[in-house]
Structure 1
Amino acid sequence: MIKMKALNIILIFLYVAVFSILNSVVASEVEMPTIACPDLFRYVIKPNETYAVVTVPSSFINGANVHLQVIVHQYDLVNQEFSLLPFKSQEETLSNILARKSVEYRFSFPSPQENPKLSKIVVNGETICFDDDYIPPYNALEGEFNIELPINNTVGDTSIEYVPPSISQLNNCFSFVIYEEENNKTFARIKIPNYYFEGGTPEVKVDFAQNKMLTSGKYALFTYKSLDETILDVMEGKPVLYRFQFPDQTEIPVIREIQVNSKPICANKNPRVGSMKLTGGHTMQLPLGYNNLNIYTDNESDDNNDKSKDNRTCGREVGALTPFISFGNEINNGQVPWLASIFQNNDENLVFICGGSLISKRIIITAAHCFQFQTLPADLTLVKLGGSNTTDDTGVLSFGVEKIIIHPEYRNDFIPDADIALLYLNSSITFTDFISPICLWNGDTDLSKLVNKIGYVAGFGSTENGTISETSPRIAYARIVSEIECVRSSNKIKSIISPRTFCAGNRDLSGPCTGDSGSGIMIRKNRHWSLRGVVSIGETFEGQCNLGEFVIYCDLAKHLDWINNHILD
C-alpha cells in the first residue's frame, strides 16, 4: 500500500522589513538558491517549469517502509500549491525499495517566480540533510510521502476497490466540508468554528483520500480569505474558512479526518475510502502577545456602556482594521476615525506637533508634553480630523482650539505619570463615518489583566525611513508588558514609571516613533475600540527613536475621574 502525506504549510510571520525583503527576492530573473546537499537535491530547469529531484540513497533503503519528509522555504507568501511524488511509477518505485536501490522523488514548486531553498530532508525520522532557514517572513513548505510495503513484500496491484462512503459513515464531517465548483474544477471549502482554536495557535490538518494513485498535480490547503482577514476573524471569534485544492479532477477525494491543534474534530470511519491519502496542513503563527486570541472581555456589557458623552456609539469604524503590520501599515478612510493631528499655526505655516484622540464633540485628548516643551498656546494650535495629515483631502476638517487644559499633576521633567492634556475645540463636531469618537476605558482598571494583550497605536510619526507621514496615518501593534519586564529591559525606565503608567512594545523596530506623542493606544473590547493610554516617552539612540526598547504610556484608566470632570456636555 502506498500512502501519501504531503503538504504542511507553516506561515511564519515575523514582521521585519517585509516589503524590502520581498522586493529583493522577486527579481527579473529567478534566482537559484544554494543547495546544502546537491547529491540529494537538485534543480531541473525546463522551458515551462522548474522542479527538484530528491534522491533517497540506497543506504537509507532497507527493503521496508520509506517515510520521506522534505522542507523547503520560499518568500512567496501567496502561491502555496505544490507536491512531493515518486519520480517513477508505483511499480518501479516498489521494485527499487525491495531491491534496496535509491528512490527518486519529484518536488513540484508552487511559484513560477521563485525556486524554493532546501531546508531539510528526513528519511524514516532521520535527518539526512539540513540547511539554514531563510530570514522571516517566509513560507515553510513541508512535503511528506509515506510508502508502506505490503505485508507479503511482493510487488503487485495494491489498490483497493473504491466504495463510496454513505453520508452516515462520514459522521459529522459534512458539517465542516462543502464541495464547490469554480472554473469547472471542484474544491472543498472547510469551515472551522472559532471555539476549536481556543488555547492554541490556529493549526489545521485535513486528510482526504482517493483510490487513484497520484503521479502528478499540485494541491494545497490554504485560507479562503487573505491572511489579514483570517487573523481578524480569529480575533473576533468568527469561523475560519479554508480551501482544499484537489490535484486531479478524474476522482474527487473523500474527507477522512480534520484535526485542529492536533485534536481530531471529525473522522470518516469507512475503511474503504481509498488508499491514496492527501494531507493538507496550515498553521497561522500569531505575533507574541495574542493571549487567548486577544479578545478582551470584562464583566460589563460593551453595548450598554460604550457610548461617548455625546450619546453616540464610540469606538466603531467603517474600515476593517488590519491586525498585522510591518513597520506600520497605512490606514484607509474610515479606519481610526478618532485620530487627530495637532499643528502649530504660525502665519499660515503649519508645523506638525503631535497626535491625539477625539473623545467627544469638542475634546481631543493628547500628551501634555506636546505643549509644555513647545510652549504652544491655544490660539496658535490647529487640529485636523478625518484621516489625513498635511493635505486637504475631502472629509478632512480643521478646527481651532479654544483652550488647553494640562493635568495639574503633570511635571515638566520627562515623567509620564500624568502626561495628559485636553484640547477644547472652538466649535462642536458633527460626527460622520470619518470623524467619530473613541470610547474612554470603562470597567476594570487593573493593568495586570492586560499583560501580554495587544494594543494598537495609530499616528503620523516617523516611518521606517525617518520621515513624517504627510498623508495617511499608519498603525502598529504593541504588546503590553508587566512592570517587572519593563524595568528589567532598561536601566533608564525604573526612575520614570509609576503605578499610573505602563509599557508596551515589540522591541522589533516597529511601533510609535517621533511625532506619535499624544496618540492613543487602543484595545479592542469585543466590538469596540477603547482608549487605554497615551504615548508619552521612549528611548532614543543617535537622535532617533529606539524601538528596540519599550515605549512608556500614561495610563488613562487611572485618570478617568479627572478626564470625565472636564468633558463638556
Structure 2
Amino acid sequence: MFLQMGCRLHVSLVLVMFWVLPSHLYAAEDSSENYGGIERARQKTNLHHPPSPCPSVFSYEGREAEKDKWFGVILVTTEELLTGLRLDLMLDRPASLLGNWIGEVKSKDNTRFTILNLNQTVIPGPPLSIRIFVKFPEGENIPRLRSIHVNGRQICPADHVMSSGSMPVTPGPITTTRKNPPVTVRRQDSDVRSSPETGGVTECGRVAVQPAPLITHGQNTARGQFPWHAALYQSKDIHLKYICGGSLIGPRTILTAAHCVTKSTVSRPVEADTLLVYLGKYHLKQWSEGGVQDKQVAEILVHPEYNSSNYQSDLALLILSSPVQFTKYVRPVCLWDKTEVDLENVINKEGIVTGWGYDENGQITEELKMAKMPVVSQQVCLWSNRDFYPHFTSDMTYCAGFRNGSSVCNGDSGGGMVFPRNWSDGSVTWMLRGVVSLSKPKGLNQPVCDPTNFVVFTDAAKYLDWIQSHVK
C-alpha cells in the first residue's frame, strides 16, 4: 500500500516539473534548433519574387520582398494623349495595403485596387514610371501582381480585347436605305464651341470626314462620320464593360440617358469614378486605332425629374475631368433650335441614330453602325401598342421607327438622334433632337428589344434650358 502511494506521488512531481520548465531550455535540443532553421529558411525562400507577368510593363524591385512588403515599378506608355489616369491592379490574394505616389487608391476587397488621378497627363513618348508598394502580414503568403489595366485597356498581361455588354436599349442599330428629308433652320451663335486644349474654335455639327456611300441596308458608317458619338464604359471589378452611347455637346460635356448612369432600382447616379468615356472610337474592341480620346468623368448630373419607373426625363449630363481636343474624329453636335421645339417639325422626317448594338443576327457589332428612323406622331405611337406605350410616353418624349426590323437595339441607349440642316452654300450642320431611351422587349423573359416596335426617345429639345445651363 505504501509503495503504491509513493509511486503516485513520484509521478505527480514529475508532471509538475515538466510544466514549469523554462521555455528557453527547449532551444537547447538539437531537433528543435534544426526545425526552426528549416522553417526560417522556408519563409526566406518564399520572399523571392516570382517572374513578372509582363516584364516590359512591370518589375519587382530587388530579388526578394521585405518581411512585410514589396515594391514594384509600372511603366505606362500610350500612343495617344491621356488626360486623367486610371490604373486597375489585381493581386492573387488580399493585401493589407497598396500604396503609390501618383493618385488616390480605392479597393473593396483588398485584391482589386484602383489608382485614380484625374489631373495626370500621359503623353506619347518615354514611359511614365509609377512606383507602388504592397504591404502584407508578416509570415503569411505574399500577394503577387496578376494584371494591370490603364484607362480600361489591359496592358499586363498584354491583351487588346475589352469586354462589351448592353443595357435596356444600347449596342448598334440595324438598317435602312431610305433618304432623309432636309430640315431648314437658321444658324445660331451657340453653334460654335471653343476647345481650351487647342485654343481654336470648332463649329458644332460639322463633319470633317466625307461619308462613305451606303452599302446594302445602309447600316455601315465611315470613321469620323459622326464625331460626336461617345462610348460609355463602366468598371466591373478591374474590367470595363460597354454600357451606352452618348453625344458630345461641349468640350467637357456628354449628353446621355439617365438610366445608363443610375443605379437600377433608384434614381441616384453611380459613382463617377467608375465611368470612362471614349470619343473618336469606331471599333468597339480595338485599341490600336489612332485619334481616340478617353476621358474620366468628374461629375454626373441626372435630370432632377428623372423617374426610373417610367423613364420620364431620361437624361443625364457627364462632366468630363478635362476638355476634349477637337479633331476630325472628335467634334461636338449642335443642340436643337429653341424656336422649333414643336414635334410637328420632325414628324415623318427621318433622323439618324448611331451605336454599337445587336445586329439582325443577335450579335454585338464591332464597328459603329447607323439607322435611319422616321419620327411618328404621338397618336400613331400610342395606338401601335396600347398596353405598353401609354406608360412610357408623354409630351416630353417621341417615338420613331419603321416597325420592319430597322431599329436601334440593346446597346444604343443614350445615343442621340440627329437631323441634317442644309445651308445655301451646300454645307450641312447636324442637330441633336432626341436621346434613345427605351423600346418594347420581345417578351417577359427576353430582355432584348423588339425591332418591330417603335423606339421611345427623350425629346432633348424640350429640355434645352436645363441642358444649356450645365454645358461646360
Whether these two folds match at TM > 0.5 is: yes
* SS class of match (1:359): strand
Task: Give CA deviations for 1:482-522 in whole Å, capped at 9, x if unaligned.
Answer: 11111111111022211110010111111210010000000
Give the aligned partner of residue 376 of structure 1.
Answer: 270
How far is the alpha carbon of 1:327 from its aligned partner?
A: 5.5
The answer to whether the 8 Å contact 1:325/1:477 transfers is: no
Query: Which amino acid counterpart does residue 352 of structure 2 have in structure 1?
Result: Y
**In 2, distance between residues paired with 1:414 and 1:559?**
17
Q: Deviations over 1:36-93 (max 9, x none)?
A: xxxxxxxxxxxxxxxxxxxxxxxxxxxxxxxxxxxxxxxxxxxxxxxxxxxxxxxxxx
**Could you tell me which residue of structure 1 aligns to residue 245 of structure 2?**
355
Question: Are residues 1:456 and 2:352 paired?
Answer: yes
Q: Residue 427 of structure 1: CA displacement?
A: 1.2
Q: Would the aligned equivalents of 2:231 and 2:277 in 1 still touch at CA under 8 Å?
A: yes
Question: How many Å separate the matches in 1 of 2:285 and 2:392?
Answer: 33
Counterpart contact for 1:362–1:424, Cα < 8 Å: yes
Contact 2:439–2:455 (CA<8 Å) still a contact in 1? yes
> What is the aligned residue count?
276
Change (3 A) 1:286 1:464: closer
Deviation of 1:334 after TM superposition, in Å, equals 1.5
Q: Distance in 1 between matches of 2:194 and 2:402?
A: 33
Q: Does 1:515 align with 2:411?
A: yes
Q: 1:447-526 maps to which residues of 2 (within 5 A)?
A: 447-470=343-366, 472-491=367-386, 492-526=388-422
Shift in Å at residue 414 of structure 1?
Answer: 3.0
Aligned-pair distance for 1:309? 6.5
Q: Which residue type is aligned with residue 339 of structure 1? A: H
Contact 1:328 1:510 in 2 (8 A): no
Aligned-pair Cα RMSD in Å? 2.1
| 1:295 has 2:182 as partner | yes
Return the match for 1:421 from 316, 327, 333: 316
Relative to the length of structure 2, the TM-score reads: 0.56
* Cα gap change, 1:484 to 1:322, in 2 (>3 Å): farther
1:365 and 2:255 correspond? yes
**Aligned letter for 2:220?**
E
1:548 aligns with 2:433: no
The structural deviation recorded for 1:306 is: 2.8
Q: Is contact 2:177–2:218 with CA below 8 Å preserved after alignment?
A: no
What letter corresponds to residue 319 of structure 1 in structure 2?
A: V
Mark the CA change 1:408 to 1:325 in structure 2 (over 3 Å): closer, same or farther.
farther
> Which structure is higher in RCO with an 8 Å CA cutoff and minimum separation 6?
2
Report the counterpart of residue 397 of structure 1 in structure 2: 293
Distance change >3 Å, CA 561–CA 335, structure 1 → 2: same
Q: Which runs of 5+ in 1 are unaligned?
A: 1-284
CA distance in 2, matches of 1:538, 1:511: 10
Cα distance change, pair 286–350 in 1 and its aligned pair in 2 (3 A): closer
2:392 match: secondary structure: coil
Measured in 1, the distance between the counterparts of 2:253 and 2:227 equals: 14
Question: Unaligned regions of 5+ residues in structure 2, if any?
Answer: 1-175, 196-200, 423-427
The residue that corresponds to 1:122 in the other structure is: none
- TM-score (norm: length of structure 1): 0.46
Equivalent-residue separation in structure 1 for 2:328 and 2:303 (angstroms): 31
CA distance in structure 1 between the aligned counterparts of 2:390 and 2:211, rounded to whole angstroms: 34
For residues 428-484 of structure 1, the C-alpha deviation after alignment (integer angstroms, 9 at most, x for no partner) is 1110000010001113111111110110000011112212223x2101100011111
CA positional deviation for 1:302: 2.3
Task: Decide whether the 8 Å contact of 1:340 with 1:358 is kept in 2.
Answer: yes
1:403 to partner: Cα distance: 1.1
Note if contact 2:279-2:330 (Cα within 8 Å) is conserved in structure 1.
yes
Structure number, greater radius of gyration: 2
| Residue aligning to 1:141 | none
359 and 505 in structure 1: CA distance in 2 versus 1, 3 angstrom threshold: same
Match of 1:342 in 2: 232
Q: Give the 3-state SS of the residue equivalent to 1:495 in structure 2.
A: helix
Q: Select the residue among 174, 192, 204 that pairs with 1:307.
A: 192
- What amino acid is the match of 2:275? T
Percent sequence identity over aligned pairs? 38
Contact 1:478 1:505 in 2 (8 A): yes
Q: Could you tell me how far apart the structure 1 residues matched to 2:194 and 2:344 are?
A: 28
Q: Secondary structure at the match of 2:458?
A: strand
